Amino acid sequence: MTEIAMPQIESTNSRVETRVKAVKRFASGDNFFRRSTQGAALVVLLLLGGVIISLIQGSIPAFQAFGLGFFTTEIWNPVTEKFGAGAAIYGTLVTSAIAMAIAVPVGIGIAIFLTELCPPGLRRPVGIAIELLAGIPSIIYGIWGLFVFAPFMQQYVQPALIALFGDVPLLSSVFAGPPYGIGILTASLILAIMVLPFVTSISRDVFETVPPMLKESAYGVGCTTWEVVANIVIPYTRVGVIGGVMLGLGRALGETMAVTFVIGNAHKISASLIAPGTTISATIANEFTEAVGDLYTSSLIALGLILFMITFIVLAIARIMLMRLDVKAGR
């Protein structure tokens, strides 16, 4: 009996040792995976911190020379070394706001059509067309805007707006001035076209994650398509939709080449949307290679820091909105 039991004990011990080694191997692999992902996250934070520090260090001479007036002054004169970010900040905020005001409802509407109303045979071609729009380089949008869209605006759209709102209080100043074709409105419309595919694609993808049972139950109790979309689809996917909107807004705020082609690159604040203007990214792209002197370079770096601050504030507001939505939903 003893001779028979000994091989069995040895075999059992061998299996236990094999399992222990396997568990240790899996544990070491899991630990390596955890450390690797943690290291990647730390690298991102270090890179972000490095960018912030370099922007702050580079912009110190400009803020020391102009103080807080740098944020509000619209003068930008490299000859006299008088610089202000007011016009660039104004142009960035206005063009992005107009672009999002156009792109968000249109993009969400297209996403709703594709997921709820579009015939199956048309759904795929329209979806592919939207994705192709997202893949077009920004410089192509800029060239098209300068040689095709701006002349169209100058010949048809801007004169019609001037004639339509010329006698309307307040709106007469919003659409005042000669129809150059280029300007803040033209840049905003180009941005809206560029942002539209991002909002549409992300909204469509998150709309498709809604469980069919929820929509079928709503239709079963007599809800219309609008009621299903407004009361089930949008609330269920609001986090993803807001994420898509924020992604589109990020591109609108930081877009450079397309805006540079059609905005006019004029450092002035005008109440008219058809007047030329500038943005932060367009100013940096136009003048960074020509910057001579520490103050000129520092002013451009300060513009980059301001753009970073604007983007951070926008993302923080979006995060606060999501937190409030979760609180209202009882999460």
DSSP bridge partners of 45? none
Distance CA 213, CA 83 (A): 59
List the single range of 2-16, 39-53, 189-203, 243-257 with lowest mean pLDDT: 2-16
Query: What is the amino acid identity at position 116?
Result: E
Rounded CA separation 6/206 (Å): 62
Of 64, 85, 117, the position where a domain reaches its end is 64
CATH of the domain at 259: 1.10.3720.10
DSSP secondary structure letters along 246-279: HHHHHHHHH--HHHHHHSB------S-TTS-B--
Tokens 């028979």 map to which residue? 4
Looking at the structure, tell me whether residues 100 and 198 fall in a common domain.
yes
Among residues 22, 39, 64, which one ends one of the domains? 64
Can you tell me the distance from the alpha carbon of 272 to that of 185, in angstroms, rounded to the nearest whole number?
9
The pLDDT value recorded for residue 177 is: 85
| HSE-up (13 A, CA, CB side) for residue 269 | 15
First-to-last alpha carbon distance for the chain, in angstroms, is: 65
What's the confidence (pLDDT) of residue 1?
Answer: 46
**Looking at the predicted structure, is the pLDDT value of residue 10 above 60?**
no
The single residue listed with the structure tokens 């005001």 is: 101
Q: Which tokens in the block code for residue 218?
A: 């709503």
CB 186 within 8 A of CB 259: no
My answer on whether 237 and 291 are in the same domain is: yes
Q: Are residues 51 and 115 in the same domain?
A: no
Tell me, what's the pLDDT at 143?
93
Same domain, 106 and 144: yes
178 shares its domain with 297: yes
State whether 212 and 234 are in the same domain.
Answer: yes
41 lies in the same domain as 136: no
Tell which of 24, 47, 64 closes a domain. 64
Q: How many domains does the chain have?
A: 2
Q: What is the pLDDT of residue 330?
A: 55
What average pLDDT does range 79-108 have in this prediction? 93
- Rounded Cα–Cα distance for residues 45 and 49 (Å): 6
State pLDDT tens for residues 279-290.
999 999 888 888
Residues 50 and 199 in one domain: no
Question: What is the model's pLDDT at position 29?
Answer: 74
Mean pLDDT of the chain: 86
Residue 250 shares a structural domain with residue 323:
yes
The model's confidence at residue 153, banded by pLDDT at 50, 70 and 90, is: very high
Per-residue pLDDT of 94-114, as tens digits, reads: 999 999 999 999 999 999 999
Round to whole Å and give the CA distance between 213 and 219: 10
pLDDT for 187 beyond 90: yes
Domain limits for position 39: 1-64
167 and 82 inside one domain: yes
Q: What band does 7 get if pLDDT is binned at 50, 70 and 90?
A: low
Write the pLDDT tens digit of every residue in 298-320: 999 999 999 999 988 888 887 78
> What pLDDT does 328 receive?
62
285-293: long-range contacts, CB 8 A cutoff, minimum separation 24:
285/256, 285/257, 285/260, 286/260, 287/78, 290/78, 291/78, 292/78, 293/81
Question: Does an H or E element contain 209, and which?
Answer: none
* Whether 7 and 27 share a structural domain: yes
Same structural domain for residues 107 and 4?
no
Token look-up 């301001």 returns: 306
Tokens of 272: 């008219």
Q: How far is CA 45 from CA 40, 169, 304, 315, 317, in A?
A: 9, 50, 19, 16, 20
Burial profile 35-63: b = 16 or more Cβ within 10 angstroms, e = fewer = eeeeeeeeeeeeeeeeeeeebeebbebbb
Mean pLDDT of 160-178: 87
| Confidence tier at 329 by pLDDT (50, 70, 90) | low
For 77, the 3-state DSSP assignment is strand
Phi, psi of 221 (to 5 degrees): -95, 10
pLDDT band per the 50, 70, 90 thresholds, residue 5: low
CB 318 within 8 A of CB 246: yes
What are the structure tokens assigned to 224, written together? 């219309």
